[in-house]
Amino acid sequence: MMFLRTRGGKTGFILSMTVLGLGLLSGASAILDIDTDGYVGVLQGGDDCVDQTHAVFMNGTPECDDGQPPVYLNGQYDIVDHAWVADGTTYHLYSSCCTISNTVIYRYTSTDLRTLSAPTTVFGPNPGAWDHSSIWAPYVIEHAGVYYLFYTGVDLRLGEADQYQRIGLATSTDLVTWTRAPVNNCSDPNGDGCVYECDEPWTTWGDGGDFDNQCRDPMVVRDEANGRWVLFATTRHNASTQAVAVATSTDLLNWTGTGYIEASARVSTGVLGQLTGGVAENPFVTAHDGTFYLSWTDYWDTEDFWYTTNPRTAVQYATSTTLDADPTGSANWTYRGYTPDPGVNGSEVQVLSGDTWILTQSIMSGYSGAWPEQRRNLRVKRIEWNGDGTYTTENNTDLACRVPSAAINPGVPEQCGDSVDNDCDAGVDEPMCVGVCADADGDGYGTSGTLSCSQPALDCNDANPSINPGVTEICDTIDNNCDGRVNEGNVCRRRRVFQWISDGQIEIAKKL
């Protein structure tokens, strides 16, 4: 790819990239056994009733109920732009707060995605440098044992309308101590860490107008197939419209702009009549079954204003089967309209256990149903993928309720009490599953009428641990093995008793 800059203007060449990244296999629908459990899915002519990349969640039990209220993560400070990174069993949450000037980045931790620790300061503006006023919108990735934190650095020396926004980078090996990268690839040479500033032919950055120098909210994904990284950021496309810009890098330090996504800049009628306000903040990309989903926040969307009746949402999305981007608007990205939940912004997605998409959203307005108590806290929900490529969201995010797709097929036994048709026989919890399992004598077998687990048979005497379907029948006039019979199997047979005398053997038969 070549990129040229000339005095008095900007000139660029198109870079087209085909990306499978994010752990996807392109054309997953063509795979006959998607979850690799040895059974072909029903849609492919087999008998596996659940054959998909995402897990099933139990529902309808006290512990696993999508009807329960969602989890809210309550931070000490406002949380909008945020990023997650997992380190073993600990989730690290990075967020920026609190004003346009002197905003800093904080870190919270969680072990359960239900509660947050007290925040600690990561780092703040760098006096006298390109990012001396504020730093916003962190995004963290891990590569080769090093963590990379991308952020928005802001220079307000000329006032808010003439502020300069650029993308910065800091690194860490422990997620606690961060150091700005020892590079500066930007037009302001003061200070380390400046890696990209959105000065491209398809943006207004550097053109001299009010609010022209927009370059913020970075999000980075790995394109393993093509050996590169892909950056998405908010920029200003023209005098009235923002758009998501795209750049690529092979080393995370040096970035080359590739284009912008016109679908994120739509101001006319969209899918299902969705209108947009020309804002494209908080870009985020996730992927499922060969499709990339790019979401962004449009807080000027007239269908999410305070006075709107039955609002949709400020968060909208587009899809593509590649991560291609070009200076003409990237026609491969198709505008899809609104996401399911109104009243939120700053959406981020974690893929846990490789098959569970967890969505965190900042509470933005009363349409969220949690206003004002949860204002600018995070709501945690689960993405439920539909067969047509759309999705809904559910409240239950407890991974203890997760059932992998590969654990559902005709070759597994039915598991009682999980609300799932585990064995694909078109029945749930049948026929022995009739309640909560009771095992009073602790022998591992439940009593008749209360069996709700996968024991092989019922316990006919739950007051005696020596009586259950797993023991051997003995001759005692008791049904020891719970098969409905007594002393079966010739356990009470005639025995011969021998009495020895000095001149020989006398056989005495006794019937015992």
Q: Which of 242, 251, 241 is nearest to 220 (CA)?
A: 251
Residue 149 backbone phi and psi in degrees, to 5 = -110, 110
Question: Does 337 map to a domain?
Answer: no
Q: Which of 328, 332, 199 is nearest to 256 (CA)?
A: 199
State the residue range of the domain holding 125. 75-197
Burial code (b: 16+ CB inside 10 Å, e: under 16) for 329-357 equals: bbebbebbbbbbbbbbbbbbbbbbeebbb
Question: Does 251 map to a domain?
Answer: no
Question: Does 136 map to a domain?
Answer: yes
Question: Does 405 map to a domain?
Answer: no
Percent of the chain with pLDDT over 90: 59
pLDDT tens for residues 79-112? 999 999 999 899 999 999 876 666 899 999 999 9
Is residue 297 within 8 Å of 315, Cβ to Cβ?
yes
How far apart (Å, rounded) are the C-alpha atoms in residues 344 and 415?
37
Higher pLDDT, 449 or 453: 453
Q: What's the Rg (C-alpha) of the chain? A: 31
221: exposed, middle or buried (C-beta count within 10 Å: 0-12, 13-18, 19+)? buried
Q: Which of 220, 232, 303, 230 is nearest to 264 (CA)?
A: 232
Q: Residue 456 pLDDT more than 60?
A: no
Report the CATH number at residue 94. Answer: 2.115.10.20
Number of domain units in the chain: 1
**CA 359 to chain CA centroid, nearest Å:** 6
Token match 């006398």: residue? 506
Q: Residue 23 pLDDT more than 50?
A: no
Q: Which pLDDT score, from 0 to 100, does residue 20 have?
A: 30
Question: Does 107 map to a domain?
Answer: yes
How far apart (Å, rounded) are the C-alpha atoms in residues 457 and 434?
13
Is residue 507 within 8 Å of 494, Cβ to Cβ?
no
- Residues 112-116 have a mean pLDDT of 95
Question: 292: which strand partners?
Answer: 287, 320
Lowest-confidence pick of 37-51, 65-79, 297-311, 373-387 = 297-311
pLDDT tens for residues 471-484? 998 988 898 888 77
Average pLDDT, the chain: 84
443's tokens: 């022998």
pLDDT tens for residues 416-435? 778 899 999 987 765 555 55
Predicted TM-score (pTM) above 0.85: no
Give how far Cα 117 sits from Cα of 73, 91, 109, 114, 397, Å.
10, 11, 5, 10, 19
How many CB atoms lie under 10 A from the CB of residue 84?
19
Q: Residue 506 pLDDT more than 80?
A: no
| Side chain identity, residue 322 | T
pLDDT tier for residue 273 given thresholds of 50, 70 and 90 = low
120: exposed, middle or buried (C-beta count within 10 Å: 0-12, 13-18, 19+)? exposed
371's tokens: 């206003």
Give the single-character DSSP code of 225.
G
Token match 């198709």: residue? 334
Is residue 379 within 8 Å of 415, Cβ to Cβ?
no
Lowest-confidence pick of 20-24, 210-214, 250-254 = 20-24
Question: Does 86 map to a domain?
Answer: yes
How far apart (Å, rounded) are the C-alpha atoms in residues 176 and 285?
26
Q: Residue 309 pLDDT more than 70?
A: no
How far apart (Å, rounded) are the C-alpha atoms in residues 328 and 200?
12
| Upstream peptide bond of 372 is cis (omega within 30 degrees of 0) | yes
Question: Does 105 map to a domain?
Answer: yes
Q: Residue 147 pLDDT more than 50?
A: yes
Question: Does 151 map to a domain?
Answer: yes
Q: Residue 222 pLDDT more than 70?
A: yes
Higher pLDDT, 154 or 490: 154
